[in-house]
């Protein structure tokens, strides 16, 4: 019997070690990202560094000074008579935060809510307690290493900058400060 117990204990130990290692790596990554976000807010980070996020099929770049935090997908309470792109309100650290599916807002398919989804909250300096639903957070990207593309006519001013990275992927740089003043964006009700 002690042999069977010993085998079960030794089989559980590697699984626990893998889980602990994974949690440790995640904590280090979150600490590094938080450190970089604070550096960006204080102006000590290179201006070319942007947070890469995927919003549905769209790859977007966000200025770190316009982002407050990145949190796992939270329960979102729908708001009656709101547009389909306005998902509703989430309780993030005790604050009610309006969550927007920006891909849907832009006329794309709605973001599929999976375990990879994150809520990216706006910086308090923007004056709007809001957030975007991201399919995935893709990490920091260096815009200086990308090629600027021609601006498409008729594109909203808050998403007028486009880039192509060295791998040939197209990125749209979003200016959340302009987005939060867009009249259509502020009219969440139908």
CATH number of the domain within which 170 lies: 2.40.50.180
Is residue 65 domain-shared with residue 151, that is, in the same domain? yes
pLDDT at 44 > cutoff 50: no
Res 22: pLDDT = 73
Q: How far apart are alpha carbons 144 and 180 in whole angstroms?
A: 26
Residue 144, phi-psi category: left (phi > 0), alpha (psi -120 to 50), beta (remainder): alpha
Using one digit for the tens of pLDDT, what is the confidence trace for 102-153? Answer: 999 999 999 999 999 999 999 999 999 999 999 999 999 999 999 999 877 7
Pairing relationship of beta strands 86-92 and 76-77 according to DSSP bridges: antiparallel
Is residue 77 domain-shared with residue 111, that is, in the same domain? yes
Is residue 5 domain-shared with residue 88, that is, in the same domain? no
In this structure, of 38-47, 137-146, 159-168, the range with the lowest mean pLDDT score is 38-47
Indicate the helix (H) or strand (E) that contains 177.
helix 176-179
Res 126: pLDDT = 96
Q: How far apart are alpha carbons 46 and 104 in whole angstroms?
A: 31
Question: Per-residue pLDDT averaged across 22-45, rounded?
Answer: 58
Is residue 84 domain-shared with residue 178, that is, in the same domain? yes
Is residue 35 domain-shared with residue 55, that is, in the same domain? no
**74 SS3 class:** coil
Res 156: pLDDT = 87
In this structure, of 8-22, 80-94, 125-139, 165-179, the range with the lowest mean pLDDT score is 8-22
Report pTM. 0.74
Is residue 26 domain-shared with residue 58, that is, in the same domain? no
Total tally of structural domains belonging to the chain: 2
Q: How far apart are alpha carbons 163 and 123 in whole angstroms?
A: 24
Res 23: pLDDT = 72
Is residue 40 domain-shared with residue 52, that is, in the same domain? no
Cβ-contact 84, 189 below 8 angstroms: no
pLDDT at 45 > cutoff 50: no
Cβ-contact 121, 67 below 8 angstroms: yes
Cβ-contact 111, 73 below 8 angstroms: no
Is residue 99 domain-shared with residue 138, that is, in the same domain? yes
Strands of 101-190, DSSP E: 118-122, 130-134, 136-142, 147-148, 161-164, 170-174
Domain that holds residue 3: 1-45
Is residue 31 domain-shared with residue 99, that is, in the same domain? no
Is residue 100 domain-shared with residue 173, that is, in the same domain? yes
Is residue 140 domain-shared with residue 157, that is, in the same domain? yes
pLDDT band at 20; cut points 50, 70, 90: confident
Is residue 37 domain-shared with residue 71, that is, in the same domain? no
82, 127, 162 from 119: Cα distances, Å:
19, 17, 23
């Amino acid at each position: 019997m002690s042999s069977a117990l010993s085998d079960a204990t030794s089989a559980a130990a590697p699984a626990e070690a893998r889980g602990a290692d994974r949690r440790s790596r995640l904590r280090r990554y979150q600490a590094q990202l938080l450190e970089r976000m604070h550096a960006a807010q204080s102006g000590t980070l290179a201006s070319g560094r942007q947070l890469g996020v995927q919003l549905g099929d769209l790859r977007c770049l966000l200025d770190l000074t316009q982002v407050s935090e990145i949190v796992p997908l939270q329960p979102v309470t729908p708001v009656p008579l709101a547009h389909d792109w306005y998902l509703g309100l989430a309780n993030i650290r005790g604050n009610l935060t309006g969550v927007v599916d920006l891909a849907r807002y832009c006329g794309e398919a709605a973001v599929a809510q999976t375990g990879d989804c994150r809520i990216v909250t706006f910086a308090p300096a923007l004056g709007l307690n809001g957030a975007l639903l991201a399919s995935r957070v893709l990490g920091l990207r260096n815009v200086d290493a990308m090629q600027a593309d021609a601006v498409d006519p008729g594109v909203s001013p808050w998403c007028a900058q486009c880039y192509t990275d060295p791998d040939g992927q197209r990125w749209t740089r979003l200016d959340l400060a302009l987005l939060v003043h867009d009249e259509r964006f502020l009219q969440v009700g139908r």
